Amino acid sequence: MDAQALRDLQTPLKARYREAPSEALVTLKAEGRIDEANVACKVDTGKALVTAGLHPATGGSGLEACSGDMLLEALVACAGVTLKAVATALEVELRDATIRAEGELDFRGTLGVDREAPVGFRAIRLSFDLDTDAPQDKIDQLLKLTERYCVVFQSLNRTPELSVDANRRRP
């Protein structure tokens, strides 16, 4: 896809969203179901069923996907798609790009060993290895816009309003 094809694809959407902002609001959903036999949860990704389980540092076997890994994978996926879309729009030729995310967890918090230890990532680093001849100012713009428009990055960067509820199923 080239820049013009991307503009042709997105221009009518942008116009519609300017005219009717409520049409731009979409609720994305994820669903999973606990595994009856294991400490695991089967998550329907819409493309495949993924079983998430405990990380080995919390007693897991390592056979199931760790939800922390899945969060980093979602960040890499979103950043990669956003990078490619922005590069296309800016007409920056990327011959190749590798996107990496790594995050640090202190499992003392997750396991309740130390109340002062945080539960969750203390730090997440996102990096890009780019194969391009673009000048540095174009690369800087590419990264700035990728960061700005990456939904997962911005959701982590600007904590969204979160809520939790439970509904009891009746037999």
Convert the pLDDT of each residue in 64-83 to its tens digit.
Answer: 999 999 999 999 999 999 99
The pLDDT, as a whole number, for residue 166 is 95
What pLDDT band is residue 37 in, cutting at 50, 70 and 90?
A: confident
Mean pLDDT taken over the chain: 91
The pLDDT, as a whole number, for residue 31 is 80
> Where do we find the tokens 């780019």?
130
The percent of the chain in helix, strand and coil, each rounded to the nearest 5, is 45, 20, 35
Q: End-to-end distance of the chain based on CA atoms, in angstroms? A: 52
**Distance of alpha carbon 29 from alpha carbon 64, whole angstroms:** 21
B/e letters for 153-168, b = 16+ CB within 10 Å, e = fewer, are beebeeeeeeeeeeee
The pLDDT, as a whole number, for residue 38 is 80
What pTM was computed for the model? Answer: 0.86
| CA separation, residue 1 to residues 77, 79, 132 (Å) | 18, 18, 17
Average pLDDT over residues 102-114: 90
What pLDDT band is residue 143 in, cutting at 50, 70 and 90?
A: very high
Tell me, what amino acid is at 3?
Answer: A
Q: Does domain 66-157 have CATH number 3.40.50.300?
A: no
Return the percentage of the chain with pLDDT > 90, whole number. 62
